[in-house]
């Protein structure tokens, strides 16, 4: 029974990787750089996305794929920006699938005007475990970790923090009101993912967000030069 279970899991991840590679090929062909954006529920991904859409509007042609268990609240929040926004609901999956997988993203491709997008940001389901397991065809991965969640999170969810190319430490405007030990958080981050770049930001006040915009610019340019 145990062996069977592991076999099913391996098959599922193999199938996912195959579809992720097909997505990547399609994105590359269309000249679209893809960022997989992950975090806990409520860490501020959508607000960080809004700030990016406002700031990079005239520089990079952005697109957004919104992954949610149910509803289109986040897509609605972003709808007034110029960028095309497509919603994926994971609800028909495993009683509310807890992550996006390559096939869900693939099923959204026909709804995305890929030839009008340079940089596609995929907002994953809020979850610090499973999204890190499933490649979707992305070029880079970024996560937001809110200081309100506590400094132990890298140690408790190491796979997620290890899977990322960049970490946004968000909600720093609340630091004066929290018992959050930033040095301990950064030491924990360094312990699970040595050398990973990070930025201390507040999506609410705008503090530190230039590092987020610079990272997005950099990813988009790097991918174009590699192509």
Positions in the binding site for a copy of itself (CB under 8 A): 8-9, 40-42, 68-71, 73, 94-98, 125-130, 132-133, 146, 148-150, 152-153, 155-159, 171, 173-174, 177-179, 204
The DSSP letter of residue 22 is H
Q: 182 burial class (0-12, 13-18, 19+ CB within 10 angstroms)?
A: middle
Please, what is the minimum distance in Å from the beta carbon of residue 181 to a copy of itself? 14
Of 79 and 129, nearer to a copy of itself (C-beta) is 129
User: Would you say 53 and 109 are in contact if contact means Cβ atoms under 8 Å apart?
Assistant: no
Please, what is the minimum distance in Å from the beta carbon of residue 107 to a copy of itself? 12
Give the contacts of 27 (CB within 8 A, at least 6 positions apart).
33, 34, 114, 120, 137, 139
168 backbone dihedrals φ, ψ, rounded to 5°: -95, 115
Q: From CA 135, how far away is CA 17, in angstroms rounded?
A: 6
Please, what is the minimum distance in Å from the beta carbon of residue 46 to a copy of itself? 9
Q: From CA 162, how far away is CA 52, in angstroms rounded?
A: 24
Of 98 and 114, nearer to a copy of itself (C-beta) is 98
Of 59 and 152, nearer to a copy of itself (C-beta) is 152
User: Would you say 173 and 140 are in contact if contact means Cβ atoms under 8 Å apart?
Assistant: no
Please, what is the minimum distance in Å from the beta carbon of residue 32 to a copy of itself? 27
Please, what is the minimum distance in Å from the beta carbon of residue 171 to a copy of itself? 7
């Amino acid at each position: 029974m145990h062996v069977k279970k592991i076999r099913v899991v391996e098959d599922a991840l193999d199938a996912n990787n195959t579809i992720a590679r097909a997505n990547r090929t399609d994105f590359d062909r269309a000249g679209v750089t893809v960022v997989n954006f992950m975090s806990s529920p409520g860490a501020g991904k959508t607000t960080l996305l809004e700030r990016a859409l406002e700031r990079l509007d005239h520089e990079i042609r952005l697109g957004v794929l919104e992954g949610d268990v149910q509803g289109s609240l986040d897509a609605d929040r972003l709808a007034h920006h110029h960028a095309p926004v497509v919603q994926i609901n994971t609800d028909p999956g495993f009683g509310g699938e807890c992550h996006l997988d390559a096939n869900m993203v693939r099923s959204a491709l026909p709804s995305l005007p890929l030839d009008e997008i340079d940089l596609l940001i995929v907002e994953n389901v809020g979850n610090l475990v499973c999204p890190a397991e499933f490649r979707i065809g992305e070029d880079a991965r970024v996560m937001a970790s809110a200081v309100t969640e506590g400094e132990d999170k890298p140690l408790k969810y190491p796979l997620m923090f290890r899977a990322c190319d960049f970490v946004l430490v968000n909600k720093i405007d609340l630091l004066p009101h929290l018992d959050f030990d930033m040095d301990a958080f950064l030491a924990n981050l360094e312990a699970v993912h040595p050398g990973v770049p990070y930025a201390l930001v507040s999506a609410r006040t705008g503090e530190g967000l230039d590092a987020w915009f610079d990272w997005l610019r950099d990813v988009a340019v790097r991918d174009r030069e590699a192509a």
